[in-house]
Structure 1
């Protein structure tokens, strides 16, 4: 099939007049290895309530965790815990995220067994206990257990559950809904970066932790009680919590590579910006404002990126935005030696640096289908444990040895690598569409595993497919 015929098959205009496809959330039996089950999402309705709940949960998990950049800068400047090194502090922020991800299989098992409400209320209690307990920390290992491990477990029960519950409510608006929910990390980061910075100056870090604890308790309890799972969306056949056989699919490997590479860059950028501000002579308050402005960019960017990906293709837009983030690091962050230019970089990079978390669920639905999505997402979460743990320590180690320039280059290259993996994945998606069209044209009913059984994975990695124009 030539490029023109393929483009006609996948253009937005054609999809409006053709039978519903996998991208519209009706999972056919012979695509992506999923079993058939008739399920037409409401594409709205109570799904918007769940979107708001997921948004609030993201505000009071990822957003609260985003304040760690300001708290980290305070600890680094004042040596709060005697004997603690910069790497000790850096590991705490990464540990909270890696713990959230590593318990993905446990979270999936819990909410399938006990229900969404119980799982998220459990997470609410753990987040409160972590932040309140951190306010009484007197040794660095206290922070490891509270801010690191306990908060990470609570965030996992809250955030991962909401991200698993939300997609089945939508079809054509799925990326927009996920983008709105994911923008909560930007709203929370904006509020809590500014609020935590001011509270630390006026009330101290201990009181700041208690304020964060009670804010998270109220909002997460309210959201957990309103969040509901679509029972109709459950697949007819039970799925594994984590299916390690997914690693045999090269397209899943490309998703993992995208996540690993961008997390190395995203975590380092997210936590390091306030400290970078101090390194160029700005005061801590200006550093917290820079972190807040980057989170403002997340608020602006994630819904826009989500809507654009629904319109122009989820893999294509994710690839372009990930690449743009790397280019912004090279073009603006490296020469940013003034407060004004740093704020410009912060707001621009904020719109695209969180593309992975804003689009991973819709992209996975395109690649593996809804039936395989939970087990694949759990596998990807496990793969991200190490990157999220060591990303900030690597960044601070590079700063200590050769200054921030090496860190800036490292962060930019990670985003570029992530975009390259999506570029190759985009080629794979075109190949999949070609095979589907060929089967339909020849009237040949082929097994769902036939696509994965092609003689070589690399029959579709060709310049022609890399540069095809189409909506994928």
Structure 2
């Protein structure tokens, strides 16, 4: 353990000593000791550092829509949409599946190891991507290497915030997760603009150097606060979690959300280029950035609402409205319709990214195991991410280019997620009509 970490552990109260103690219903989020900062320079530096991690994890993933469009028109024009979507799906898969290892590593005190490894792999993967000319090269560099690198960074970005915030946990998490939206906007604009000016190779290299520069800031400021001691890694699974009905329902809901969520992100631009924006193809290429712009307030406002009605109910509203938006996508056949859908999808789906970690913290008694439980959930979500876009691409191929079956597939998955969240709410609060959860 580093000297800095030792000093922190010796001067700050522990979380683990509080695990398992009873709590009052009106203090659901009060699972850490009374000395929690809940503000101050150090706590907000953690927010800034985790914001950067989301900027370069989900921000990278949210950018794949512009890569999907470029690959289908230029670099990999001979490949089917389904084959190309596998690249982004595998990137998302590794981003999530690595969490089953990084969660216990984080709980064991190896934050710095995760940050250094993740930063190195993201930079290496992007630099290798800039040299790629074939499908399998792109799959290995962007899908596997960048995916694993972002996987090392994802769990720390979520697990740090509950250790520093109690009252303001939801809004702090909302600020952190908005990093993925800003990352999606900036990386989409950088790629779209530079690929026309400098070509694919230098566009990707510049993205790599941006990622390296900002990730070094996170490496400098992020610190664990709990009393975990670096040493043998804990078990990869917390088996007791699967005996808790709320956790099982939470995992099922999140799996369904990942099946449906990525389909519009991947196919937003290709759909627009053939449905309403054929004559505005330059504008259509910026739809991914427009979607991510709409997602910025979509991450922050649900976090504020969660303080009033609870994270479970706020997450349900976000999923239900996202499902409605996806079904409205079916009738979108004009330029303004596509732009409106991009904004609406970004805004309503923001809570689907901002609130899962807060929701899990609200139903977890022992926050010293939050990294492990996030990792377990991420493992399941990884398979949802792996299923969604390639399945949508296969459906699109079988439908002869008709997007309606793809849109129905995505919409049903998201609505099913909202139904499971209703069951989660009942499991937490009982059958009370009015209750925060």
Give the alignment's TM-score, normalised by structure 1. 0.81
CA, structure 1 residues 63+365, in 2 after alignment: closer, same or farther (shift >3 Å)? Answer: same
Shift of 1:119: 1.7
Q: Report the equivalent of 1:461.
A: none
Q: Report the equivalent of 2:165.
A: 170
Contact 1:264 1:411 in 2 (8 A): yes
Shift of 1:354: 3.6
Q: Report the equivalent of 2:101.
A: 106
CA offsets per residue over residues 421-471 of structure 1, 9 Å max, x none? 11111111113xxxxxxxxxxxxxxxxxxxxxxxxxxxxxxxxx1x61111
Q: Between Structure 1 and Structure 2, how many residues are aligned?
A: 406
Q: Report the equivalent of 1:444.
A: none
CA offsets per residue over residues 211-253 of structure 1, 9 Å max, x none? 111110101111121111113588xxx9643223422332222
Matched, 1:426 2:425: yes
Q: Report the equivalent of 2:37.
A: 42
Cα distance in 2 for partners of 1:241, 1:321 equals: 31
Contact 1:116 1:228 in 2 (8 A): yes
Contact 1:175 1:307 in 2 (8 A): yes
Matched, 1:410 2:415: no
Contact 1:242 1:375 in 2 (8 A): yes
Match of 1:321 among 318, 323, 333: 318
SS at match of 2:36: coil
Shift of 1:368: 2.0
Matched, 1:253 2:248: yes
Q: Report the equivalent of 2:188.
A: 193
Cα distance in 2 for partners of 1:361, 1:246 equals: 15
SS at match of 1:48: helix
Matched, 1:344 2:343: no
Shift of 1:284: 4.4
Q: Report the equivalent of 1:63.
A: 59
Q: Report the equivalent of 2:143.
A: 148
Match of 2:388 among 391, 415, 419: 391
Instruction: In structure 2, list runs of 5 or more residues that go unmatched.
Output: 1-22
Shift of 1:344: 1.3
> Relative to structure 2, which stretch is displaced further, 38-47 or 200-209?
38-47
CA offsets per residue over residues 269-321 of structure 1, 9 Å max, x none? 11111111112143543223211111011111101111111222111111111
Matched, 1:136 2:131: yes
Larger Rg: 1 or 2?
A: 1
Shift of 1:83: 5.5
Shift of 1:360: 1.1
Contact 2:107 2:228 in 1 (8 A): no
Cα distance in 2 for partners of 1:26, 1:245 equals: 18
Shift of 1:152: 0.9
CA, structure 1 residues 408+81, in 2 after alignment: closer, same or farther (shift >3 Å)? Answer: closer
Matched, 1:311 2:276: no
Contact 1:61 1:216 in 2 (8 A): no
CA offsets per residue over residues 9-68 of structure 1, 9 Å max, x none? xxxxxxxxx9685523236xxxxxxxxxx4542111221111111111211222133222
Instruction: In structure 1, list runs of 5 or more residues that go unmatched.
Output: 1-17, 28-37, 432-464
Contact 1:39 1:232 in 2 (8 A): no
Q: Report the equivalent of 1:298.
A: 295
Cα distance in 2 for partners of 1:175, 1:288 equals: 33
Give the alignment's TM-score, normalised by structure 2. 0.88
- Structure 1 stretches of at least 4 aligned residues deviating more than 6 Å after TM superposition: none
CA offsets per residue over residues 175-211 of structure 1, 9 Å max, x none? 1111111111111111121221111222221211111
> Relative to structure 2, which stretch is displaced further, 208-217 or 116-125?
116-125
Shift of 1:110: 3.4
Q: Report the equivalent of 1:274.
A: 269
Matches within 5 A, 1:77-88: 77-78=73-74, 80-81=75-76, 84-88=79-83
Q: Report the equivalent of 1:124.
A: 119
Contact 2:48 2:176 in 1 (8 A): yes
Contact 2:126 2:146 in 1 (8 A): yes
CA, structure 1 residues 209+175, in 2 after alignment: closer, same or farther (shift >3 Å)? Answer: same
Shift of 1:86: 2.6
SS at match of 2:72: helix
Contact 2:72 2:78 in 1 (8 A): no
Shift of 1:121: 1.7
Shift of 1:82: 7.3
Contact 1:264 1:388 in 2 (8 A): yes
Matched, 1:26 2:26: no
SS at match of 1:192: helix
CA, structure 1 residues 256+231, in 2 after alignment: closer, same or farther (shift >3 Å)? Answer: closer
Shift of 1:335: 1.6
